[in-house]
Chain A
Amino acid sequence: EAEVAQSPRYKITEKSQAVAFWCDPISGHATLYWYRQILGQGPELLVQFQDESVVDDSQLPKDRFSAERLKGVDSTLKIQPAELGDSAMYLCASSDLAANSYEQYFGPGTRLTVT
């Protein structure tokens, strides 16, 4: 079964450092999402891509976060500089909107700890 790949699975960084996460969606899925999930809460959408274009980044803290999907396939989410409050699970998901389906398939996530 096809899966969404993410790396690294775990990242520990000091505050003020830069950190980057990578996501490879299920092949053929044009829509890609990045979520942040703080412990004890549900995932919150940070950014949505349709192919290489940003559909919605209204919840992305753009002073420190950036996301790109240059070729419309894999994607990178960057934080610079990291702050203590950024400690969370960062989840990537993809979906096939052409299939008229709302189902999003999530990757295993990157657990970030900022010290």
Chain B
Amino acid sequence: DIQMTQSPSTLSASVGDRVTISCRASQSISGSLAWYQQKPGKAPNLLIYKASSLESGVPSRFSGSGSGTEFTLTISSLQPDDFATYYCQQYYTYATFGQGTKLEIK
């Protein structure tokens, strides 16, 4: 099974900050990676697919990069609506999610 490890588990930041969340795969997954945002009591929402493709309707401050085993989600300028939990997911072999990164207000 492919394991996905996100870091950090919790991130404290302020509105306007640039933040980066990392996701590492236990083996190469090429570019088969998606990122989701989840708010409390809600279903996850797709942000990025194919590692760097921005889903339609998602603000351009979100971006994804990486390939192979190392991936990054970047939010260029944090907005109040961005405080949530973020998950990466590989779909190279079946599917596996990272454990999540909770983005908190500093």
Does B associate with A? no
Taking Cβ atoms with an 8 Å cutoff, the residues of A that contact B are none
Chain B residues with CB under 8 Å of chain A are: none
